[in-house]
Structure 1
């Protein structure tokens, strides 16, 4: 006697489709985060030309602005707050995009701004003491993740339309 459960396969297909739809939707909000981050970074760089600001402060404030833009647009479009899973995926995705932008920025500096002497100094410094540089990089990535997750969670609670 064969037991067939056609409803469970339909449920699995619909769950898969729902997951794919929400993943596709989050890429739009990662783009909104990136756009907000870039605009805030440009504004803070202009402000930095007049006033001395800490680089970590500027990065943190830019991340906060990017998180606000992403959460605001999500709530405006979806008429609901982000779930915990969506917040985590948005945090990881936007942090990955942010660090890819940082890598492109550094590559641009390396190719167009540094001359041969500056490149050699940087390579020699990296060879002599790689651990402090790796530690600083890991701390900056962790700092970015924490500020990003905290900001997304805070704005998600503050802008939630059901809490008002």
Structure 2
């Protein structure tokens, strides 16, 4: 006499996270425009803080975190407005890495502009000599600001996603 083993796998008729059918999870929205919204928010906040810094001295790390929070707010708010749902965890990760990558590309462009248009040959020589003699403080500062960017982007996207989630507001 053979016994039938119980079905342990989930049924494909169950609804997925956020009440969506499993087939809807296969077609995830493209996050490229939302990474762009993240970058626009970051640029606007950075420009605003540059204007504020002409009158009041502000901590550079605080300005970075607040600019990233503003970029995350704009990106998450636009996503929820367009998609009528909150981001899932893989979308949060993709938006975080994409947003931080764009922020760092913009920072590289900014520093290259300063390097070529603001510094003269003597200033460039002095900066190169200083960075060659003691590269560790520069590298540690770059790693610290990268970690700060990633952590603040992750926390702000997650928190804003939960705060602006239309399903949480309705219940």
What's the TM-score bracket when you normalise by the shorter of the two chains?
0.7 to 0.9
Partner of 1:131: 136
- Asked whether 1:39 is paired with 2:44, we answer yes
2:23 matched to 1:18? Answer: no
Give the 3-state SS of the residue equivalent to 2:166 in structure 1: coil
- Give the SS at the match of 2:143: helix
Match of 2:35 in 1: 30
TM superposition shift of 1:132: 1.4
Change in 2 beyond 3 A, CA 1:61/1:105: same
- Superposition TM-score, scaled by structure 1 size: 0.86
Shift of 1:62: 0.5
> Could you say what secondary structure the match of 1:51 adopts?
coil
> Cα RMSD over matched residues?
1.5
Comparing both structures, which one devotes a greater share of its residues to helix? 1
Alignment match, 1:6: none
Is 1:113 the counterpart of 2:122? The answer is no
Deviation track 1:19-39 (CA, whole Å, cap 9, x = no partner) reads 5xx3xx200000000001101
Q: Residue 17 of structure 1: CA displacement?
A: 6.7
Can you give the 5+ residue segments of structure 2 that lack an aligned partner in the other structure? Answer: 1-22
**Cα deviation code 1:69-113 (max 9, x no counterpart):** 000000000000000000000000010010000000000000000
Q: Which has the larger radius of gyration?
A: 2
Q: Distance in 2 between matches of 1:84 and 1:112?
A: 42
Matched, 1:73 2:82: no
Partner deviation per Cα, 1:26-79 (whole Å, 9 max, x = no partner): 000000000011011111110110111111111110000000000000000000
Aligned residues: 147
CA distance in 2, matches of 1:103, 1:58: 17
